[in-house]
Chains A and B, each alone.
Chain A
Amino acid sequence: MKIVITGHKTGLGEYVSDAMIAQGHTVNGYSRSTGYDINDADVRDAILLENIDADVFFNNAYGRMHVDFDDMPDHWKRGENGQLKLLEQFCDAWKGRTDKYILHSGSKIVYKNIQKIKQVKTYRIDKMDCSALIKTYIDAGLGPNICDFSMGMFDTPMADVWPDYFIRGKVEDYGKTMVMFINNKETIWPKEAVFDNPGRVEFGPLELAKREGWV
């Protein structure tokens, strides 16, 4: 099968890319480090154009690299959520196609009531926007098949902004579940999957926020 992966050079994208290539599949990978910034509209158009015939789109890369607005390049501050835009483009292009699959890297943060924590507010809203868009397409029931795969924290560079005492899972533990979903896509396809690190965090988000001086 032919798989499109954004953010294929690090973390989860790299794991899934390597695993699918090892299985003999064709992977077209796009990463900022290889010149593909999904916050650029021209780049998104190019990715879609090159992969309209793909079987699976792994919408993995999150457009904004840092959650702190002050550190963001100017074009990110314009409010672009590259992951959402690219998701929408593939959903539209594949509308009505039941033979196409989109696996979306979501976050468990959308289920948590921590909007008062300003450091991750943008990230949470971006991910919520993606989940809301996915729901509209799933409810329409026309295709493509979409899975909103929400995850807890694991050891990627993006997790570095969080305090050390947060439990972090391993990329491969989440990755092998994604690979299993892709490999079994024709028999079972979860519309929604929420995965986290067992054992949970040691204390609730409010206590965490107090410790960090965020509230």
Chain B
Amino acid sequence: MKILMIDDTTTLNMALKDAFIQKGWTVTVANTDLNDSQSILDTEKYADDVDICLNNMYTPSNTQEKHGQARISDIFLDKWDLNSVKYIINMIDMSALINAEDYKGDKQVRLDNVMFNAMTTVFNARAEGPNVCNAYMDRDSMIEAHVKLFCHVIENCITVWPSQLVLNKPLGAVA
């Protein structure tokens, strides 16, 4: 399995990278600067050599343009159009699923993620490849559990694939 990770600097992303390597998978890290258009466009060069793009980094947009994570998704959706043996995992902030009036965090973060969610969900309604998984999550928590789950998903990607995962802490779990 050849995996492209957009980032490997956060606690979760570092843990994922280590786990993937332990599984014997080939990991390439793009280290894309999501506020730099050229850096985003350059990420396309990895597309031919990997099976999976783990779109695992979000930074708020510093312009009026679509934010960087959404643009990465665009690039791979386009590059892998109709290719059913390619996979994209979009890690989407849970704020994408929260009503505006109930959300207490940064408005821009929520808006970016709502837009990203809408864009990729529309794609997911199609019947052609690539295979896209939208994983809604809090990226700063449940590190071990997230690692275990994503390893399972990737390990089984040839036979079964989640188009959508809403990953919560169980109710009542200690933070």
A interface list, Cβ under 8 A from B? 98-99, 101, 108, 111, 141-145, 169-170, 173-174, 176-177, 180, 184-205
Inter-chain contacts of B159 with A (CB < 8 A): 169-170, 173, 197-198
Contact flag A173-B145 (CB < 8 Å), given A180-B152, A189-B170, A200-B128: no
- Partner of B169 from A108, A177, A189, A199 at Cβ < 8 Å: A189
Q: Are B170 and A185 in contact (CB under 8 A)?
A: yes
Q: Are B129 and A186 in contact (CB under 8 A)?
A: no
Q: Are A204 and B145 in contact (CB under 8 A)?
A: no
**Segment with Cβ contacts to A, from B23-31, B112-120, B160-168:** B160-168
Contact flag A193-B165 (CB < 8 Å), given A99-B172, A141-B171, A199-B84: yes
Check B173 for interface membership: any CB of A closer than 8 A: yes
Contact flag A196-B170 (CB < 8 Å), given A184-B149, A187-B142, A188-B149: no
Q: Are B131 and A199 in contact (CB under 8 A)?
A: yes
- Can you list 21 A-B contacts with CB-CB less than 8 angstroms, sorted by A residue number? A98-B170, A98-B171, A111-B125, A142-B171, A145-B171, A173-B159, A176-B156, A177-B152, A180-B149, A184-B149, A186-B173, A187-B145, A187-B169, A188-B142, A189-B170, A193-B165, A194-B165, A197-B161, A198-B85, A200-B131, A204-B126
Complex CA gap A188/B173 in Å reads 9
Residue of B nearest to A207 (CB): B127
Distance between A132 CB and nearest chain B CB, rounded to angstroms:
16
Complex CA gap A111/B125 in Å reads 8
Given A170-B159, A187-B142, A200-B126: 16 more A-B contacts, CB < 8 Å: A98-B170, A169-B160, A174-B160, A184-B148, A185-B170, A187-B173, A188-B146, A190-B166, A192-B165, A192-B166, A193-B164, A194-B165, A199-B84, A200-B127, A202-B127, A204-B127
Distance between B136 CB and nearest chain A CB, rounded to angstroms:
8
Inter-chain contacts of A101 with B (CB < 8 A): 170
Q: In B51-86, which residues have CB < 8 Å from any A CB?
A: 84-85
- Partner of A198 from B144, B161, B173 at Cβ < 8 Å: B161
Complex CA gap A105/B168 in Å reads 18
B interface list, Cβ under 8 A from A? 84-85, 87, 125-129, 131, 142, 144-146, 148-149, 152, 156-173
Inter-chain contacts of A194 with B (CB < 8 A): 162-165
Q: Are A193 and B161 in contact (CB under 8 A)?
A: no
Inter-chain contacts of B171 with A (CB < 8 A): 98, 141-145, 189
Complex CA gap A111/B163 in Å reads 11
Distance between A184 CB and nearest chain B CB, rounded to angstroms:
6
Contact flag A188-B170 (CB < 8 Å), given A195-B162, A199-B131, A200-B128: yes
Complex CA gap A29/B127 in Å reads 36
Complex CA gap A200/B129 in Å reads 7
Complex CA gap A77/B59 in Å reads 54
Complex CA gap A203/B146 in Å reads 33
